[in-house]
Amino acid sequence: MTDNNTAKVALVTGGSRGIGKACALEFAKAGYDVVINYAGNDEAANKTVSEIKDLGQNATAKKFDVSNKEAAEAAIAEIVAEFGRIDVLVNNAGITRDNLFMRMKDEEWLAVINTNLNSAYFVTHPVSKIMIKQRSGAIVNMASVSGIYGNAGQANYSAAKAGMVGFTKALAKELASRNIRVNAVAPGFIQTDMTKDLPVDKIVERIPLKTLGQPEDIAKTVKFLACDATYITGQVIGVDGGLVI
Ligand code: NAP
């Protein structure tokens, strides 16, 4: 965060744990300064910031609820004041509130739609203005296999993730002329806190590669889409061990 800082800047929502943390570290390894966002777990966020700094990059953690429009806008303004630019945005923050649809409560539906889909609008709207001014940028949205083939017990989550796919494609068309690429990753089952209570053995039987994915598997693809895939936009890349073929 020095005045003469020239590093590119990546913002990863939900970047304190799991897939988002792996993305944050991957961008740091690629020479990016990194801003991670998180909701409540200060200890995890501080640990991730110090791991990024150990890689020689500037890092900061911004605690705000991505489903709160005002909070997101204020945080983006702070990031621009501190870092001067945002080159990569990863819309990764997400939650599950699984339930069969007949039993689903309004709170479960709304929490997931707000955190997993409306958040992408709240964060990307101010960030895209900055990228348009810069005339460059890359956005990677975290979808899911559930948003592509649906998952019983996850009507809320599947709807939000399918929404991310449509959002990605529409935005890719709108922003291409400004040299901004927009892509999505659709993870399968990845070993994080989100999946720690799932029946792993049963799930692995369904995965052609016969193992859960690791957060780093997703992070490498996110980094590829954001940094290396200079002629790819509007795509959804499945990273799922062959679950959806
Ligand atoms: P995770 O380990 O539970 O981590 C979630 C991250 O999101 C944490 O950093 C958390 O911060 C943050 N977060 C949650 N709600 C937030 C909010 N309202 N505002 C700001 N930050 C918030 O989850 P994960 O497994 O890494 O999942 C990351 C993304 O990948 C999600 O979008 C998820 O839907 C998607 N995905 C995951 C899998 C999988 O198998 N794990 C599969 C497909 C898609 P705190 O720690 O402070 O709460």
The b-or-e profile of 38-76 (16+ CB within 10 A means b, else e) is: bbeeeebbeebbeebeebebbbbbbebbbbbbebbeebb
* Ligand 1 shell residues, CB under 6 Å: 13-14, 16-20, 37-41, 44, 65-67, 92-95, 115-116, 142, 144, 187, 189-190, 192-195
Looking at residue 5, its pLDDT comes to 57
Query: Ligand 1: distance of its center to the CA of 14 in Å?
Result: 5
The atom of ligand 1 lying closest to the CA of 215 is: 26
- Cβ atoms of 153 and 98 within 8 Å: the answer is yes
Mutate to test the pocket of ligand 1, among 149, 185, 194, 236 (most ligand atoms within 8 A of CB): 194
- Residue 244 and residue 145 in contact, taking contact as beta carbons nearer than 8 Å: yes
157 in active site: yes
Instruction: Identify the pLDDT of residue 130.
Output: 98
Please indicate, yes or no, whether the overall pTM of this predicted structure exceeds 0.85: yes
Q: What is the pLDDT of residue 6?
A: 79
Question: Which amino acid type is present at position 157?
Answer: Y
Mean pLDDT by 10 residues, the chain (245 residues): 69 98 98 98 98 98 98 98 98 98 98 98 98 98 98 98 98 98 98 96 97 98 98 98 96
pLDDT of residue 2: 40
* Torsional sign, CA 37, 38, 39, 41: negative
